Amino acid sequence: MQEGKILGYRRINRDLLRGVFENPVKYWAIVLFLGLVVLFAVGAAGFMVNRGIGVTGLNRPVFWGFLITNFVFWIGISHAGVMLSAILRLSKAEWRRPATRAAEVLTIFSLMTAVLMPFIHTGRPWRLMYWVFPYDFSRGIWPDIRSPLVWDPSAVNTYLLSSILFVFIALVPDLAVIRDRSSGIRRIAYSVLSLGWRGTPRQWKLQAIAGILLSALILPVFVSVHSIVSWDFGMAVSVNSWHSTIFAPYFVIGAVHSGVSGVVTVMIFMRWLFGWEEYVRREHIDALGRLLIVIAIAWFYFFAMEFLFGIYGQEGDELATRSLQIFGHPWGWLFLTFIITAFFFPVPLWLFRNVRRSFLWMTITTISVNVGMWLERFIIIVPGLARKQIFTQSWYTYAPSPIEIMIVAGTFALVLMLFLLFAKVFPLIPIFDIKEGQILTDEIKVGRRRVPAVIREE
Amino acid sequence: MATHSVLALYSNAEYAAEAGEALDNAGFSKEDYEFLTDTPYPEGALGERHSSHRLYVFPFVGALIGLTAAILLTSGTQLAYPLVTGGKPILSIPPMAIITYEGTMLGAILFTVIGIIFESRLPTTKKHIYDDRITEGLIGVVVDCDDNTVDRAEQILTQAGAEEVRREAA
């Protein structure tokens, strides 16, 4: 599994700080393009605020559409990060080293983007203040403080804050590396951020414990977040297809499936953009590909069970909704696309070593997974709502408006743009982790072969 | 009372560990010197002193504070807005449980982070002797010494194969 060369510390510093100290034209060209897309999305959101949510495709009874689908999708992507980083740290997987920070940073920016979605979806985001800070009853404002929708911000914000702190703690030694290569105001800024880090054995010992302890503490939060997102649906009184008892774990494993795929896509993109061929290697995407096979199969099992539990009760309304999801127009086509792109296209391909070790194929298959997983959330949310409900008494369907499409496209650009801007200020691959890997790498002679090996401290 | 800090830079861990041993043999206490590295070495690789910490207390304290704060917040809010919904009790446990769980975890994580920073003796505003080349792979050995021992310390560090030795007033 160890295919990397032994690189000098100076070389590692230079390579991994390329994003911080160099200004490649393609970097700024991409940031500029993404910025323009974000600007269009901001314009679309502004138009919606100005005209009201009538400019979206939302209607009675489909009150949740593209934006809430996108919220669930980005929450899902955010699960890659800390889950991947935490589990790989706890299991001391050697190939975690180049992947952990990118995964954690992806968590932060996708969570921030996810939080934006319900705000924009309200149409009048500032009115959320009345709900968050209810100031009197005399105006007839009686917020339901026991609503499951209150759980969401508490879980998401706990996860966001925890992830930011997790990333910061692991960044401190690398900030010292940037500090030592900087001058002037930049040096002062990084000196403050690195908190006066010197790299004493005590500081390193606590850094190692921090990685494991924080991983162990964040994992239960990570599980709770998507469980609670599933309860946004599960707690709704009347919508068919939202009440499967395994909704929470089904959402969590789906989030991991899309999230880990997202990390692979982003890692390959970083490798191309910053020339990190020595750091993001075929062995890494191969290992992630193997992990993805397991995750995808687990996800498919939950998907099948969720469906089975739905139809097992033989309730007419539930059967009709499931039938709408699979055979109704346009849901049938979307369902077919979803199941192929999320599972039947990528997973059989991942079984081949050549595919797992191909950057092109891994990019295609992981993007395919996320196309499928976005559609999965759409198919969960909209067909259930489109049918007549107890309280709405009407049937309708839903088609997104150009405004919603622009906002959703803008969120993809936003996450990638924030990711790249982060890379301009902080290293996206943990420098000290890579250096530690170099210290612990050796070659051992077994019979007539010299085998690359990694020493692991217990 | 240390009046000088001496910094020696070594090209590899072996030399740095030997410098530490030489300082031990010359009668310097392990409290008097410190290693500075750019990457975590396996514990004891440099022969450094064992340092204890109380980091594991922090998450428990944080969890307790988070739990208490979350219970007060959720019960206080429900009592402040006594709206009966569907004949359910004002102080309803299930919605409280979720927020309480998140509050507990948030408290534990916040205090862990505070604990990591505190136990790492960070942030520090005191100017310590340091060299930027440490983050390029050189290993630093810093010795705190007084007027009587500073020359001896420099000599020991040089003999151990230091690439460079310099001193500053502590």
Q: Is the pLDDT of residue A233 over 70?
A: yes
Q: What is the pLDDT of residue A438?
A: 81
**Burial (CB count <10 Å: 0-12, 13-18, 19+), residue A91:** exposed
- Mean pLDDT for A268-272 is 92
Q: What is the pLDDT of residue A318?
A: 85
- Element holding A394 (H helix, E strand): none
A456 CB within 8 Å of a chain B CB:
no
Q: What is the ipTM of this complex?
A: 0.93
Do the Cβ atoms of B153 and B9 come closer than 8 Å? Answer: no
Q: Which of A9, A162, A204 sits opposite B137 (nearest CB)?
A: A9
Q: What is the pLDDT of residue A133?
A: 64
pLDDT in tens, A82-119: 778 888 878 777 778 888 898 899 999 999 999 999 98
Q: Is the pLDDT of residue A129 over 90?
A: no
DSSP state of A98: T
Q: What is the pLDDT of residue B47?
A: 84
Query: Quick check: is A20 in a domain?
Result: yes
Q: CA nearest A87: which of A231, A212, A253?
A: A212
- Structural domain including A442 reads 9-134+147-454
Cα angle B144-B145-B148, degrees, rounded to a multiple of 5: 175
Q: What is the pLDDT of residue A390?
A: 66
Percent with pLDDT over 70 in chain A? 93
How many domains would you assign to chain A?
Answer: 1
Closest chain B residue to A439, measured at CA = B41
Query: Quick check: is A423 in a domain?
Result: yes
Query: Quick check: is A182 in a domain?
Result: yes
We report the CATH number of the domain holding residue A24 as 1.20.1630.10
Place of tokens 């460079």: B164
The confidence band for A392, taking pLDDT boundaries of 50, 70 and 90, is low
Do the Cβ atoms of B2 and B149 come closer than 8 Å? Answer: no
In this complex, do A457 and B42 lie within 8 Å of one another by their Cβ atoms? yes
Query: Quick check: is A141 in a domain?
Result: no
In this complex, do A432 and B40 lie within 8 Å of one another by their Cβ atoms? yes
A13 CB within 8 Å of a chain B CB:
yes
Q: What is the pLDDT of residue B43?
A: 84
In this complex, do A207 and B119 lie within 8 Å of one another by their Cβ atoms? no
- Mean pLDDT for A328-337 is 92
Q: Is the pLDDT of residue B88 over 90?
A: no
Helices (H) and strands (E) in chain A, counts: 18, 2
The confidence band for A2, taking pLDDT boundaries of 50, 70 and 90, is low
Highest mean pLDDT among A383-387, B32-36, B48-52, B61-65: B61-65
The confidence band for B163, taking pLDDT boundaries of 50, 70 and 90, is very high
- How far is CA A401 from each of CA A42, A121, A154, rounded to the nearest angstrom? 15, 13, 31
Which residues lie below 8 Å from residue A255, measured CB to CB, with a gap of 6+? A75, A76, A77, A78, A79, A80, A226
Q: Is the pLDDT of residue A1 over 60?
A: no
A172 CB within 8 Å of a chain B CB:
yes
Provide the greatest CA pair distance for chain A.
Answer: 85
pTM: 0.92
Q: What is the pLDDT of residue A136?
A: 58
Output the average pLDDT for chain A: 89
Q: What is the pLDDT of residue B2?
A: 74
> Residue A282: left (phi > 0), alpha (psi -120 to 50), or beta?
alpha
Best to test chain B binding among A11, A14, A203, A436 (most B CBs inside 10 Å): A203
CA pair distance A93, A363, nearest whole angstrom: 23
Q: Which residues of B touch A201 (CB under 8 A)?
A: 34-35, 37, 41, 43, 46, 48-49, 51
Query: Quick check: is A228 in a domain?
Result: yes
Q: Which of B105, B123, B130 sits opposite A217 (nearest CB)?
A: B105
Q: Which of A168, A204, A210 sits opposite B37 (nearest CB)?
A: A204
Q: Is the pLDDT of residue A273 over 80?
A: yes
Q: Is the pLDDT of residue A164 over 80?
A: yes
pLDDT in tens, A11-45: 898 989 988 998 889 999 999 999 999 999 999 99
- Mean pLDDT for A138-154 is 77
Q: CA nearest A176: which of A420, A438, A440, A435?
A: A435
Closest chain B residue to A433, measured at CA = B39
- Mean pLDDT for B89-118 is 93
Q: CA nearest A8: which of B67, B138, B124, B32?
A: B138
CA pair distance A142, A120, nearest whole angstrom: 22
Query: Quick check: is A102 in a domain?
Result: yes
DSSP state of A96: G
Q: Which residues of A touch B40 (CB under 8 A)?
A: 204-205, 207-208, 432, 436
Q: What is the pLDDT of residue B130?
A: 92
Q: Where do you find CATH 3.30.70.120 in chain B?
A: 4-39+137-169
Q: Which residues of A touch B78 (CB under 8 A)?
A: 145-146
Cis peptide before A427 (omega within 30 of 0): no
Q: What is the pLDDT of residue B139?
A: 93
- How would CATH label the architecture of B4-39+137-169? 2-Layer Sandwich (3.30)
Which residues lie below 8 Å from residue B72, measured CB to CB, with a gap of 6+? none
CA pair distance B23, B28, nearest whole angstrom: 5
- Could you give phi then psi for residue B92, rounded to 5 degrees? -95, 125
